[in-house]
């Protein structure tokens, strides 16, 4: 039996995406809508949400802050088959752990972890009760799998989200609900604008920084998210899809211009 169906992979499904107005979330929202999903786009940025709505006129636009638990309660009214917990943010430039304190830890926790708990908790009972199964996708990061100096607390909450993904997958599998993560790296978005962060003179170095070069585009993350949302991945749960041009696989290894590799670069 084919799992592909007639062409559009999310026909008849409702997909709620947080942080859907820009960057990765917007690319996910657009691709899901192209594949027949009724998209519920949640974002704090009203202008960007309006712009998304012009491209995806069928989308329900919810202007809200996901760090406010009332947002999850508000979203519980939607009959959601697919939930993408996409919001996440460094919130600050790299800063030593010792130079920040509990207030900042709480803000990082709210925007990188707590909202996924609230949103999932609000939508899961309906998903289970409707008996149609479901797919929950949590946007983590390569830094949930390796350390990152100066972003210790951010990375810790993302690692928690990764583990939430795995444990919840065990609990809800019998309801036909799958829970997976996507771990991006090196994707050009408003939060990580590599076009500005990397000087023009250095852009030819991308193939040395990641096996597939870079930067990646938000659409490169939307494809794997579509896979996880659709029945193509119906036997996949509790795992992570890495969308990073190979940076996680490379670890500390870097290509040299002559094609050899080094893990102790003299000119990193």
Residues designated as active site:
154
247 lies in the binding site for ligand NAD (CB under 6 A): no
187 lies in the binding site for ligand NAD (CB under 6 A): yes
Which residues are registered as beta bridge partners of 61? Answer: 41
| Positions in 128-157 near ligand NAD (CB under 6 A) | 139, 141
116 lies in the binding site for ligand NAD (CB under 6 A): no
Q: How many residues does the chain have?
A: 268
Nearer to ligand NAD, 173 or 211 (CB): 211
Exposure pattern of 211-233 as b/e (b: 16+ CB <10 Å)? bebbbbebebbbebbbbbbbbeb
Region class of 176: left (phi > 0), else alpha (psi between -120 and 50), else beta: left
190 lies in the binding site for ligand NAD (CB under 6 A): yes
25 lies in the binding site for ligand NAD (CB under 6 A): yes
Supply the DSSP string of 5-26, one letter for each residue.
TTS-TTTT-EEEEET-SSHHHH
Judged by CB under 6 A, the stretch of 3-11, 23-31, 92-100, 122-130 that binds ligand NAD is 23-31
118 lies in the binding site for ligand NAD (CB under 6 A): no
Judged by CB under 6 A, the stretch of 1-9, 61-69, 222-230, 246-254 that binds ligand NAD is 61-69
Q: Which of 60, 76, 192, 255 binds ligand NAD (CB under 6 A)?
A: 192
Say how far residue 265 (Cα) sits from the centre of its chain.
Answer: 31
């Amino acid at each position: 039996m084919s799992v592909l169906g007639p062409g559009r992979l999310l026909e008849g499904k409702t997909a709620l995406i947080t942080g859907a107005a820009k960057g990765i979330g917007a690319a996910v929202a657009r691709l899901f809508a192209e594949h027949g999903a009724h998209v519920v786009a949640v974002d704090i940025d009203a202008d960007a949400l309006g712009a998304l709505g012009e491209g995806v006129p069928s989308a329900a636009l919810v202007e809200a802050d996901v760090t406010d638990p009332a947002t999850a309660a508000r979203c519980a009214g939607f009959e959601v088959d697919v939930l993408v917990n996409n919001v996440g943010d460094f919130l600050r430039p790299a800063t030593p752990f010792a130079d920040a304190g509990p207030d900042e830890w709480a803000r990082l926790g709210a925007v990188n972890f707590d909202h996924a708990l609230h949103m999932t908790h609000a939508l899961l009972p309906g998903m289970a009760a409707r008996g149609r199964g479901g797919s929950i996708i949590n946007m983590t990061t390569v830094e949930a799998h390796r350390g990152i100096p100066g972003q210790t607390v951010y990375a810790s909450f993302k690692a928690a989200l990764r583990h939430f993904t795995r444990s919840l997958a065990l609990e809800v599998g019998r309801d036909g609900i799958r829970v997976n993560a996507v771990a991006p790296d090196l994707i050009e978005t408003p939060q990580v604008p590599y076009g500005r962060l990397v000087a023009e003179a250095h852009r030819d170095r991308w193939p040395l920084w990641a096996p597939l070069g870079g930067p990646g585009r938000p659409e490169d993350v939307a494809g794997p998210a579509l896979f996880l949302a659709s029945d193509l991945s119906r036997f996949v749960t509790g795992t992570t899809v890495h969308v990073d041009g190979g940076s996680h696989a490379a670890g500390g290894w870097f290509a040299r211009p002559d094609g050899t590799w080094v893990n102790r670069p003299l000119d990193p």
